[in-house]
Structure 1
């Protein structure tokens, strides 16, 4: 169900519930007031009849009945009965008045201080005492409140018609307010529909910037910014990867075609094959690097495994030393908090962290002939860091922000072997572990790469 329809339905049910409750309240109290008025009227008629009859006790016939029938306040289907102190029937307004209900109420009326209401067949009846205690008479009056019930029926009709009309107005009001409330969302939907993969630079209007719709639009704009950056990075990656893969493939294919067409001797054929093998090795190395980047980008782990970062650094040092046996790598330890049960412990994946540290050490050894220094420390409570510093060629400030992009290489480092993937992989691994990679470099003076991770 659409939100618009939900709002209209809920608004209608809420207001209709209030309207019906108010109508029931009005009807209930009007009915109670009618009953009280009619009860007082019956009691008054019974007392008036008793006064008239008891003043002329010998006349129980024509005089009292003539007066009673000529009374202008006669109640429809009126029935009046008077019982003496000895519970003997003294007067009845008509010979056909049934007395069964009255006799059942004699004891109740005798002990009650206020008039007693009850039903006498289809009629409403009231019983009360009249006279001093010990000599009190029991008076009963019954009748049909035609006027009161007609008014109550009219009130029911008015309330029914009013509620039906109010229901129509409530639905219209609900539709109007729902439409006005959802207009900003409709505007956002229209703007979002205009955004396509070819035009991710569009943004949604944030309106007044304060209400919930503005917050939604702002969040959507932030998401669009992230999608745009990821889309541009993906296009750049595909473009660079296509170029990098095409070059060794083209060279290897050209070498093999040339050798197949022109090589006459075994030595010439072997030379062509050796050249093609070198190109294919580069292609395999590049493919593996791209696979490593994809794995780092898609890595998922719960973070339940506790890893010693110093052990990962030791493994990375051993692998790097085998690649660059002539290079000297020095390991230092910085500030370490006291009373640590497990120093340099982080939550994550040991293999990925070892790969990240190996990439930093490999870059330092590749671009520097002097000593490389790796420092393991706690720069602040709750953070473990490994800083790898070299005194090599450094990076220009304009290129420093781009060296973590996949397949991007700084201008002064393109002569060295590599594909520009190591720093990108390290940065993604750091992000997957809740940390970051920070680079500081001076062209011609060296680079310091710091991997920072939250301590376990």
Structure 2
């Protein structure tokens, strides 16, 4: 039992040692081992089959040479491609040909049988066949071939393999190791870059590799894209924190100032009421900001939103009824151009929030009228809210969708008490609904805010 435990411990140590080795060495050792086994097997097999292969080839050549003469396909020649051919009469007397020096055996013929003979280190095989017709009928043809020469040639091949195989193993191992090392060089660079980013918190750093389209380059490109996203998220986070701090600084300062003033200087009930009203207004402002931030945060984290198929045309007409009185109270005309029976698949409350943000913005900045339109094509429907206000410059048309961003005239307008979160919320909602949001400014002034929803095929 103790020996088995010790054996397992040793095995675990070996495994740990192997795991510490670089991948290049592991892979090189792996295929080199199999290559070594394969080549060693080849050399051993070549030595083992040399004798049998030499005899087999000699037998084939011997039979062919003798039978060609017996059948008359070829004329008799004493020597034919390594085979010595002897011509005997019916009584066994040698008529033609020369017996090899080491082949000391009395003629004893056996039809079509290959036999072996060894003498003083020389090995022969011989084959007899009797002529069955013609003027030489009854005579014998004996073929004799020495297998020593062919064995030596085959042995030389085996020895050559034995010498060449180690060289082949060395060349392949070194070449493979070099190729693997070069192939994993980008991985080393990726690891180095990742460590530098982790140590220095430098999300602007990127993995720099030469041109390539293999799996490692694809992985490096994926890492770079991930770093782009992380850097962008980090920048948004910093900007978000800065903007929130900026938006909260003023109401907090006012509340603190009023509280301190009330504690030290207020002497009458009217002064106290005035201070409380200021504190209440600033507190409500802060509460509204926090609620909007929480709602956007929930949208950021939401993986699934409850959706259903509903009639956007009817929902929009119902909302316009509620908003028409608000527009008329501000002296504005409300014009609707809505196509009927347009169905979408989405969250009805979120879609209402999109329209509410667009209409509220139009109400702030328009001069005479607001145009609400809904139209569709084969794939999408387009909800637009158009005003005749000052419009939005081209440089601001992309930035207005950012959190807390407000154009200069928007910030300075007295009626605008927002935080610059509404359009950011619209962008997030449209992303959830696989749609898009955009804005354009008309040449004669005014803006058109448009969102697009995939329509349900009827």
Q: TM-score, normalised by structure 2?
A: 0.68
Contact 1:387 1:450 in 2 (8 A): yes
Q: Which moved more, 1:267-276 or 1:166-175?
A: 267-276
**Does residue 241 of the first structure (1) align with residue 244 of the second (2)?**
yes
Contact 1:312 1:353 in 2 (8 A): no
Contact 2:258 2:279 in 1 (8 A): yes
List alignment gaps of at least 5 residues for structure 1.
Answer: 58-67, 85-108, 110-114, 337-342
Which residue of 172, 175, 178 maps to 1:176? 178
Which residue of 402, 419, 426 maps to 1:405? 402
The offset of 1:387, in angstroms, is: 0.8
CA pair 145-220 structure 1, distance change in 2 beyond 3 A: same
2:350 maps to which residue?
A: 352
**Does residue 298 of the first structure (1) align with residue 301 of the second (2)?**
yes
For 1:282-321, list aligned pairs within 5 A. 282-301=285-304, 305-314=308-317, 316-317=319-320, 320=323
C-alpha distance in structure 2 between counterparts of 1:433 and 1:137, whole Å: 104
The offset of 1:225, in angstroms, is: 4.1
1:54 maps to which residue?
A: 91
C-alpha distance in structure 2 between counterparts of 1:117 and 1:358, whole Å: 108
Contact 1:319 1:358 in 2 (8 A): no
Which residue of 230, 234, 250 maps to 1:231? 234
Q: Which moved more, 1:424-433 or 1:211-220?
A: 211-220
The offset of 1:417, in angstroms, is: 1.1
**Does residue 395 of the first structure (1) align with residue 416 of the second (2)?**
no
1:332 maps to which residue?
A: 337
The offset of 1:385, in angstroms, is: 0.8
1:37 maps to which residue?
A: 58
C-alpha distance in structure 1 between counterparts of 2:50 and 2:309, whole Å: 73
The number of residues matched between the two structures is: 404
The offset of 1:291, in angstroms, is: 1.6
The offset of 1:404, in angstroms, is: 1.2
Q: TM-score, normalised by structure 1?
A: 0.68
Q: Which moved more, 1:171-180 or 1:182-191?
A: 182-191
CA pair 209-142 structure 1, distance change in 2 beyond 3 A: closer
The offset of 1:419, in angstroms, is: 0.6
C-alpha distance in structure 2 between counterparts of 1:369 and 1:393, whole Å: 9
C-alpha distance in structure 1 between counterparts of 2:41 and 2:352, whole Å: 71
CA pair 319-362 structure 1, distance change in 2 beyond 3 A: farther
Partner secondary structure for residue 438 of structure 2: strand
The offset of 1:357, in angstroms, is: 2.0
The offset of 1:29, in angstroms, is: 9.9
C-alpha distance in structure 1 between counterparts of 2:158 and 2:51, whole Å: 10
RMSD: 5.0
Q: Deviations over 1:177-203 (max 9, x none)?
A: 233444455556545654567544445
Contact 2:62 2:145 in 1 (8 A): no
Partner secondary structure for residue 177 of structure 2: helix
The offset of 1:282, in angstroms, is: 1.2
Q: Which moved more, 1:255-264 or 1:361-370?
A: 255-264
For 1:151-166, list aligned pairs within 5 A. 151-166=153-168
Q: Which moved more, 1:307-316 or 1:14-23?
A: 14-23
Partner secondary structure for residue 372 of structure 1: strand
The offset of 1:11, in angstroms, is: 7.4
C-alpha distance in structure 2 between counterparts of 1:225 and 1:310, whole Å: 40
For CA contacts below 8 A with separation 6 or more, give which structure has more relative contact order: 1
